[in-house]
Amino acid sequence: MPIIFFFLLFFSVHSQEDTPIARFRRYLQFNTAHPNPNYADPISFLVSQANSIGLQSQTLELTPSKPVLLLTWPASDPSLHSVLFNSHLDSVPAEPSKWSHPPFAATLTPDGKIYARGAQDDKCIAMQYLEAIRNLKARGFIPLRTVHISYVPDEEIGGFDGSAKFVTSREFEDLNVGFVLDEGQASTGDEFRVFYADRSPWGLKIKASGAPGHGSRMYDNGAMENLMKSVEVITKFRESQFDVIKAGEAMNSEVVSVNPVYLKAGIPSPSGFVMNVQPSEAEAGFDLRLPPTVDPDLIKRRIAEEWGPARRNMTYEIIEKGPIRDYMGRPLMTVTNNSNPWWPVFKQAIEAVGGKLSRPEILASTTDARFMRERGIPTLGFSPMTNTPILLHDHNEFLKDTVYLRGIEVYESIISSLSSFKGKSH
């Protein structure tokens, strides 16, 4: 009797380790959070999964210690443009004390929630790509177009040592990519969300200077006074963007967001700051996000003339964190109508499994998709999560097992449809 018990126990554990959910949880358990993401172990795991289903694998180290993993499913007609499915390896940090479960334990609760940093952003799609291909291969499906999967580092810190270098490499050129799917976001409703553009991030530092003086004096053009005037002007612009959203004239991601992130001024003292001295310098930092529909030159002119004007003894620095136009000077957007031959194929693939797309959106934040679009490659952001709270970068990030499994089915339809597309891709 004990021998039978241990045999059943071993068989049960072994079976659990060989399921899509078990494999997803294993991938989630790799701590890939900044500032010291572990890339080596998850790549070894992904290569082992690729080997188990007969995919080719190649690891590129375009930046030391920051590998790009490329998996390939060869086509029956390699002359056609390929399709690329991208995800990033890294995660943002997590504060374990703020979580109900350890963020890298991938705890599966009785109600089917899998708690882990990266469960939504974006380790789910990383494994769903593989599971979908596993199922397609088991059915004997052969792609007409080559299918590539890329796993890139450093997306969460800008992607400059990841996708930015990957898309300009000779290895990427050799892929002959015609269409890319990258990450999206969860939907709280029944419809899948799809994103045709990202907002471009800028960092803005504004510094004011002025003569120092006694705290009791009232005089013009002090550093703090000038900075406060700028903050007031910026706040009014920020409110104007809110008014557009509230009026229903634009979605949140379709306006220019401006958020203050730091303020630096004053003379430190043991008790805090010296209160009777007006400082000679004051500085503030802002996070700006520009939709591709906005002319960046107009924003730069506004900053120069209104937000940080030299006439008020002010200087400023704009830190552009990535491209805002493609190689031909066009806004970084992918067309979502029939003039883009990939769009109806993608849309029909969703509908074929009973899904529905909501109105295409501009992503409020920023992904590696911008580097693909910069090369002129049609790129959509998409993560098949419906009826799910949006928890990327939040405490207690989770994804339900049923939502994850449904996503595999969706990708089976997408991968088979896109890789079977016979029409002209450009």
Indicate which residues carry an active-site annotation: 90, 155
* 88 annotated to a ligand binding site: yes
d(CA 90, CA 135) in angstroms, rounded, equals 26
Contacts 24+ apart (CB under 8 A), 261-270: 261/285, 261/286, 261/287, 265/223, 265/224, 265/227
- Which helix H or strand E contains 368, and what residues bound it? none
d(CA 176, CA 55) in angstroms, rounded, equals 18
- Three-class secondary structure of residue 360 per DSSP: coil
Q: How many CA atoms lie within 13 A of 218 on its CB side?
A: 0
* 281 annotated to a ligand binding site: no
* 183 annotated to a ligand binding site: yes
Cα dihedral: 358, 383, 342, 377 (round 10): 120
Contacts of 146 (CB under 8 A, 6+ apart): 72, 73, 74, 75, 78, 80, 82, 83, 175, 176, 419
- Cβ pair 162, 97 in contact under 8 A: no
Tokens at 370, concatenated: 């911008």
* 121 annotated to a ligand binding site: yes
- Cβ pair 72, 54 in contact under 8 A: no
Sign of the Cα pseudo-torsion (356, 360, 361, 367, in order): positive
Q: Which residues of 93-115 are buried (b: 16+ CB within 10 A; e: fewer)?
A: ebeeeebebebbebbbeeeebbb
Q: What are phi and psi of 287, to 5 degrees?
A: -100, 120
The β-bridge relationship of strands 147-152 and 82-88 is: parallel
Tokens at 194, concatenated: 């799809």
Q: Is 383 exposed, middle or buried (0-12, 13-18, 19+ CB in 10 A)?
A: buried
* 225 annotated to a ligand binding site: no
Q: Which residues of 204-242 are buried (b: 16+ CB within 10 A; e: fewer)?
A: bbbbbbbeebeeeeeeeebbbbbbebbbeebeeebeebe
DSSP-derived secondary structure for 138-160: HTT---SS-EEEEEES-GGGTST
Task: Cite the annotated binding site for Zn(2+) by residue number.
Answer: 88, 121, 156, 183, 393
Task: Cite the annotated binding site by residue number.
Answer: 88, 121, 156, 183, 393
